[in-house]
Structure 1
Amino acid sequence: MRSPGKDRQVFSVKELNRYIKMMLEGNDRLQHVWVRGEISNFTHHSSGHMYFTLKDADSRLKTIMFASYNQRLPFIPREGAKVLACGNISVYERDGQYQFYVTQMQPDGIGSLYLAFEQLKKKLEAEGLFAAERKRPIPRFPRAIGVITSPTGAAVRDIITTLQRRYPAVPVLLYPVLVQGTQAAPSIVRAIEEMNRLGEVDVLIVGRGGGSLEELWAFNEEAVARAISASAIPVISAVGHETDYTIADFVADLRAATPTAAAELAVPHHLELKQQLAYMEQRLYRSLNKRLESSRERLNRLRRSPYLTNPRRQLLLQPAERLDRVKEQLRFKMQGRLALAHERKMRLDKRLAASNPKEQAVFARRRLASAAKQLQVAMQVLKKHKSQQLVSAMRQLDALSPLKVMQRGYGLVYDEQEKQLIKSVAQVEIGDILRLKLADGRIDCHVWSMEENKHGGTGNDTEL
Structure 2
Amino acid sequence: MSAPAPGSPGQSPENPFPVRAVSTRVAAWIDKLGSVWVEGQIAQLSIRPNTRTAFITLRDPAADMSLTLTCPRELVAGAAVPVTEGARVLVCGKPNFFTGRGTFSLRVNEIRPVGIGELLARIDRLRRLLDAEGLFDPRLKRPLPFLPSVVGLITGRASAAEHDVVAVAGGRWPAVRFEIRNTAVQGPTAVAQIVSALVELDADPAVEVIVLARGGGSVEDLLPFSDETLCRAIAACVTPIVSAVGHEPDNPLCDLVADLRAATPTDAAKRIVPDAAAERALVVDLRRRSVRALRQWVEREQRTLTGLRTRPVLADPLASLSARGEEIGRSRRALRRDITRLIDAESERVGHLSARLSTLGPAATLARGYAVVTAGDRVLRSVADAPAGTSLRIRVNDGSVAARSDGVPQTSENGADHGQ
**Normalising TM by the smaller chain, what interval?**
0.5 to 0.7
1:192 aligned partner? 198
- Does residue 222 (structure 1) correspond to residue 222 (structure 2)? The answer is no
- Does residue 149 (structure 1) correspond to residue 155 (structure 2)? The answer is yes
- Does residue 281 (structure 1) correspond to residue 284 (structure 2)? The answer is no
CA positional deviation for 1:253: 0.7
Where do 1:435-446 residues align within 5 Å? Answer: none
In structure 2, which of residues 248, 254, 257 is the aligned counterpart of residue 242 of structure 1? 248
1:65 aligned partner? 36
Larger RCO (CA within 8 A; separation ≥ 6): 2
2 CA distance for matches of 1:109 and 1:122? 20
CA positional deviation for 1:328: 2.0
1:124 aligned partner? 130
1:166 aligned partner? 172
In structure 2, which of residues 203, 213, 218 is the aligned counterpart of residue 212 of structure 1? 218
CA positional deviation for 1:305: 7.1
What letter matches 2:272 in structure 1?
A
**Is the Cα contact below 8 Å between 1:145 and 1:173 reproduced in 2?**
yes
What letter matches 2:197 in structure 1?
A
Instruction: Point out the structure with the larger helix share.
Output: 1
CA positional deviation for 1:242: 1.2
Is there any run of 5+ residues in structure 1 with no aligned partner, and where?
1-50, 52-62, 76-82, 89-100, 343-464
In structure 2, which of residues 276, 279, 284 is the aligned counterpart of residue 270 of structure 1? 276
1 CA distance for matches of 2:206 and 2:336? 80
2:260 aligned partner? 254
2 CA distance for matches of 1:65 and 1:337? 106
Q: 3-state SS of the aligned residue for 1:238?
A: strand
1 CA distance for matches of 2:108 and 2:36? 5
2 CA distance for matches of 1:187 and 1:108? 24
Q: 3-state SS of the aligned residue for 1:145?
A: strand
Cα root mean square deviation, aligned: 4.4
- Does residue 328 (structure 1) correspond to residue 299 (structure 2)? The answer is no
**Is the Cα contact below 8 Å between 1:236 and 1:254 reproduced in 2?**
yes
CA positional deviation for 1:277: 1.2
What letter matches 1:184 in structure 2?
A
**Is the Cα contact below 8 Å between 1:69 and 1:104 reproduced in 2?**
no
CA positional deviation for 1:163: 1.0
Relative to structure 1, the CA distance from residue 172 to residue 334 in structure 2 (aligned partners, 3 Å threshold; closer, same or farther) is same
2 CA distance for matches of 1:191 and 1:205? 11
**Is the Cα contact below 8 Å between 2:37 and 2:90 reproduced in 1?**
no
Moved over 3 A (4+): 66-75, 83-88, 101-112, 294-310, 317-321, 329-342
1:427 aligned partner? none
2 CA distance for matches of 1:176 and 1:85? 32
What letter matches 2:330 in structure 1?
E
CA positional deviation for 1:111: 4.0
Relative to structure 1, the CA distance from residue 341 to residue 104 in structure 2 (aligned partners, 3 Å threshold; closer, same or farther) is farther
CA positional deviation for 1:64: 5.0
Between structure 1 and structure 2, the one with the greater Rg is 1
What letter matches 2:120 in structure 1?
Y
Identical pairs, percent:
36
2:302 aligned partner? 296
Relative to structure 1, the CA distance from residue 73 to residue 134 in structure 2 (aligned partners, 3 Å threshold; closer, same or farther) is same
2 CA distance for matches of 1:192 and 1:211? 22
**Is the Cα contact below 8 Å between 1:149 and 1:177 reproduced in 2?**
yes
What letter matches 2:156 in structure 1?
S
Relative to structure 1, the CA distance from residue 280 to residue 104 in structure 2 (aligned partners, 3 Å threshold; closer, same or farther) is farther
**Is the Cα contact below 8 Å between 2:39 and 2:90 reproduced in 1?**
no
1 CA distance for matches of 2:164 and 2:243? 14
1 CA distance for matches of 2:140 and 2:271? 19
**Is the Cα contact below 8 Å between 1:65 and 1:103 reproduced in 2?**
no
CA positional deviation for 1:168: 2.4
Q: 3-state SS of the aligned residue for 1:262?
A: helix
**Is the Cα contact below 8 Å between 1:146 and 1:205 reproduced in 2?**
yes
**CA deviation map 1:147-172 (0-9, x unaligned):** 11012111111111211222223223
**Is the Cα contact below 8 Å between 1:147 and 1:204 reproduced in 2?**
yes
Equivalent residue pairs, number: 270
2:26 aligned partner? none
In structure 2, which of residues 105, 115, 120 is the aligned counterpart of residue 114 of structure 1? 120
Q: 3-state SS of the aligned residue for 2:187?
A: coil
CA positional deviation for 1:279: 2.1
Is there any run of 5+ residues in structure 2 with no aligned partner, and where?
1-32, 42-57, 63-88, 95-106, 345-420
| TM-score for both structures, normalised by structure 2 | 0.53
